[in-house]
Every structure is written in C-alpha cells, then in structure tokens.
Amino acid sequence: MRVPVAFGQYVPVESPVHALDPRTKMGLVAAFTFSLFLMHGLIGLALAGVLVAAVVRISRVPWRIALRGTKAVMLILIITLAAHALRWNPATVSLVRIGPLAVDGPGLLTGVFFAARIVLLVVGTSLLTLTTSPVALTDGLERLMHPLERVHFPASEVAMMLTIALRFIPTTAQEAEKILVAQTARGARFDEGGPIRRAKAFGPVLVPLFVNLFRRADDLATAMESRCYRGGIGRTRLHESVMRTADWAVLCLGSAALVALGLVL
Amino acid sequence: MSHRRIVIMAEIALTLALAYVLGWLKLWQMPQGGDVSLAMLPLLVLALRRGLPVGVWAGLLYGVLDLMHPPLYIVHWVQFFLDYPLAFMAVGLAGAFAPALGRAASRGEWGRALGTAVIPGIILGSLGRFLLHLVSGAIFFGDYAEGQPVWVYSAGYNSFVFVSALLCAVGAAIVVPVLQRVVPPEGKSPDA
C-alpha cells in the first residue's frame, strides 16, 4: 500500500491564469458555479464548455490533468444518463428500443444536460486548485475572511492552521509510508482480510503516527513562540499579494459576464 | 497569545494533515464520493483529547482542506455545506465526552474510558456526520434512488459512515490509551 506524497494537483507553470490573485480566481469559480445552476439549456452549457476549454488552454494546464477529475465521476455520469434516458416498456414512441428497454429522446437530452453540468463543475472548480498553489489559496482565504475579524472570527489563526496542515501533509505522508514499509518488512499485511482486520493491522502504524503528531505539535508551538508568534496582530508577510487593476477587471467583468450568461441561457 | 492556545493550533493543524493522509488510505471507495477510511480517526482523537470547541473547529477546517483536493462532489451550495464543513464539524461533537475521558484516564481506568467516553464519543460524532450526509443524500442525490424511497436509499448509501466509525473505534481503542500515557493533553509526561 503506497501513500501518495504529492499533495493536490497544482501545476506549476507560468500563465496569465496562474498570475491572477487567488481571490480573483475564487470569485470567478463561485460566479461560474452559480451561473451553471442558473442555466437551463444545452446552449448555455456548450458556451460554458467553450469558456472552460479556453481557460484550460490559456492556463497551459495539460488536458490530461484538467480532465483527470472526470474519471472519478464517470460512474455518476453513466448513472445520470441512464436514469434519465432509459425507460422500461414505455407506452410512448422511443428513440431506440431493445426488447422492453428503450431510450427516450427528451430523457436523453435531460440526462446529457445534467451530465454535462457535472463535468463542467468538476473541470471548472478543479482549475482553481490546478492553477493556484495550496499556500496561495490559504493566503487568499485569509484575506477574504479578514473582514470577519471584526466579529472576533480568528481569520489569521485559521489561515495559519491551514498553512501548517498543507506544509505537513507531505511530511506526514512520508512518515506514514516509512512506518508502513517498516511494518511490511516485519511481515504485516495491510491489504488482506476484512475491514476490521485491516484496521487492526494499522494499529502498529497508527500509534507512532499519533505520538509523533502530538510531540511535534508541542515542538512546533515552542518554535512559533520563540519566533514571537502572537496571532494575526501586527503580522507582516514576505510576499504581499495585492489585487491589481487587472485582477479587479477580470473579477468584475468575468463575474458579470458569467452571471449574465446564466440568466440569459 | 498563550502557549496552550498555540499548542492547540499546532495540534489542530497536524491533525488535519494526518486526517488527510489517512483519507488517502481508502479501504473502500464509493461512486458518489463516500469512502471507508480512517480519516475521521485523528479528528475524533483530537476532539476527545481537547473537547468540543476544538473538535468542531478541527472538523470545520478539515472540510475546507478537503475542498483543495478535487474531484469535488458538489451539486448545490447547500449540499456543499452539508457534505463538507458541517458534516466534519459534526465529527467534532465527540469532544463532548472529553471530560469523561480525562476523569477515567486520570484514574487509569482504560476500560471505563472506552465505555464512557471513546465509544459514546465516536457514536455521537459519526451519528452527527451520518445525519448531515443523510439529509444531503435524500435532497440532492435522490435521482439515483431508482425507485427506492429517497431516505431509505440515502440511509443505505451513507451507512459507510458507520463502517468508518467502527474502524475508527478499533483504531481509537489502540491509540487513545497510549496517547493519554505518553503525550497527555496537559503537557509532556516525565517519561516522554
């Protein structure tokens, strides 16, 4: 059993999409999702598809990676199509009929509509994480949450916890893999037997992982304190992310166009 | 900012990382996003160690972190809140049993700790998560029910939460007593 060490799907290439501020991309993804749910015809979805294809092209993210997410929803797509298109012994005229099973024309169109919407949702939302590094994402999230600090929401602490979590995912994964390999070398089997047996087999892996977690947390807290960490108050950044004029223009025009597209089509 | 607060922040952050890694080790993957894994275990252990507010915060942040790793199964914004932040926040409800665990652990009664804190905590946390997935499944994934009543379909599909909870109970029974002895929540033990 292998632990995938690489986190997320960020594709580190230079492109105009990568260069946008994370807040701009988050806003556009929200507007895109909202627009998809407003649309009620295939023409609208086709236009949204062209838009997504253009963004994938501009972002220089390989098509194979951009479409990878759809593989996981393939079964949902098949069920969606089948649930809408297939009829058992219908009384009305059907598009294709094999024995009692028939493909209903309008049902097929509805199925294609819902399946296309799922594909666009998966690919469209994936573009945010494909073109924004996890650290930039949490930074953007912190800035978006900043106004909530007025009502005592700990936006800075939340962002710090997410940043530490992202930083330690590869370390934890490597540690888990090392322990798994060591236990396998001692004869442990993690891919045999029922779920309970497997969970029990994980016992000798879980104990060191958890003990290390809480010891490391204590060390990390001491390290943070010794560097005068005291929350968000007065904290500055090495790389300040700034919403440029281009970001505002893309966010405002893009969101307005997407919502208008959703309302019209 | 107190040392204790920073320690709790670091514990939440590293718990998220471990939950995420354990989430990769899927023992069973389901078609619409559900899976059987030990991802809930770190969230449950932290909630039982630090209490309800910390557990709920960790759950919320895990829901947010999970969003950064597509593919996402989002069909509506309400479904997004139900299946991601709120469902994992509910896991943190296990923290309601943290005082009971502390009392039993301080007396070294590990059998009592399991019976009065760990197992009830896991049941409460997983029940909360199940109920939120149940509502989401019945409302937003009812199309897949294929003739069954949607609530029955949703309950059947989301029963994977209880399988995960059972595995987490096995894991917690092994891990919690060791943690309480080696790295107690109130600070480093002398033999650590």
The answer to whether A172 contacts B174, with C-beta atoms less than 8 Å apart, is no
Kindly state whether residues A142 and A70 are assigned to the same domain.
yes
Helix residue ranges per DSSP H, B51-118: 52-66, 77-81, 87-91, 98-106, 110-113
B158 within a domain of the structure (yes/no):
yes
Contact A209 B27 (CB under 8 A): no
Q: Are residues A76 and A172 in the same domain?
A: no
Residues 45-64 of B with CB under 8 A from A: 45, 61, 64
Token pair listed for A11: 């594709």
- The share of chain B scoring above pLDDT 70, in percent, equals 86
Closest to B123 measured CA to CA, from B53, B183, B58, B48: B48
Those residues whose C-beta lies under 8 Å from the C-beta of residue B126, and which sit 6 or more positions away, are B40, B91, B161, B162, B164, B165, B168
Are A134 and A257 in a shared domain?
Answer: yes
Domain match, A71 and A185 both: no
Residue among A9, A137, A225 minimizing CB distance to B70: A9
Asked whether residue A90 falls in the same domain as residue A65, the answer is yes
Check whether residue A20 and residue A129 sit in a common domain. yes
Alpha-carbon distances of A128 from A43, A93, B71, rounded to whole Å: 24, 44, 12
Do B25 and A1 make contact, defined as CB atoms within 8 angstroms? yes
A258 and A141 co-located in one domain: yes
The answer to whether position A240 is within a domain reads no
Domain extent, residue B128, equals 3-182
Domain count within chain B: 1
A221 touches chain B (CB under 8 A): yes
Tokens coding A78: 């098949």
Compute the Cα dihedral for A56, A62, A65, A68 and give only its sign.
Answer: positive
Residues of chain B with pLDDT under 70: 26-35, 68-74, 145-146, 187-192
What is the value of pTM for the model shown? 0.76
Q: How far is B137 from chain A (nearest CA, A)?
A: 14
Among A195, A211, A221, whose Cβ lies nearest the Cβ of B167?
A: A195
> pLDDT tens string for chain A (265 positions)?
555 544 457 888 999 999 999 999 999 998 998 898 888 888 989 999 999 999 999 999 999 888 887 776 777 778 778 877 777 777 676 677 777 777 777 788 888 888 888 888 888 888 888 898 877 888 888 888 888 888 888 888 898 898 899 888 888 988 888 888 888 888 877 777 776 777 777 788 899 999 999 999 999 999 998 988 887 777 777 777 788 899 999 999 999 999 998 888 7
A68 shares a domain with A95: yes
Those of residues 94-153 in A touching chain B at CB distance below 8 A are 118, 121-122, 125-126, 129, 134, 137, 141
**Considering only CA atoms, which of B173, B159, B95 is closest in space to residue B130?**
B159
Q: What's the confidence (pLDDT) of residue B68?
A: 67
pLDDT value for B72: 61
Is B10 within 8 Å of A224 when comparing Cβ atoms?
Answer: yes
Same domain, A190 and A214: yes
Residue B19 in domain: yes
Whether residue B191 is contained in a domain is answered as no
Inside any domain, residue B144: yes
Same domain, A103 and A215: no
- Chain B contacts in chain A segment 33-62 (CB below 8 A): 33, 37
Q: Residue B17 belongs to a domain with what CATH number?
A: 1.10.1760.20
Structural domain that includes position A65: 16-146+249-264
B125 domain residue, yes or no:
yes
Q: Indicate whether A4 belongs to any domain.
A: no
Whether residue A11 lies inside any domain: the answer is: no
Asked whether residue A256 is assigned to any structural domain, the reply reads yes
Let me know whether A209 and A257 are in one domain. Answer: no
Assess if residue B190 is contained within a domain.
Answer: no
Q: Rounded to a whole number, what is the distance in Å from the CA of A166 to chain B's nearest CA?
A: 7
The pLDDT value given to residue B26: 65
Predicted pLDDT at A80: 75
Residue B39 lies in a domain: yes
Domain-embedded: residue A120:
yes
CA-nearest residue of chain B to A141?
A: B64
A24 within a domain of the structure (yes/no) = yes
A239 in any annotated domain: no
Q: Give chain A's domain count.
A: 2
CB contact under 8 A, A162 and B61: yes
Q: Are residues A127 and A221 in the same domain?
A: no
The two tokens of residue A259 are 């919502």
Q: Is B73 on the interface with A (CB under 8 A)?
A: yes
Question: Under the phi-then-psi rule, with left for phi > 0, alpha for psi from -120 to 50, and beta for the rest, what region is B187?
Answer: left
Domain-located, residue A66: yes
Minimum distance, in Å, between the CA of residue A22 and any CA atom of chain B: 13
Q: Is residue B187 part of a domain?
A: no
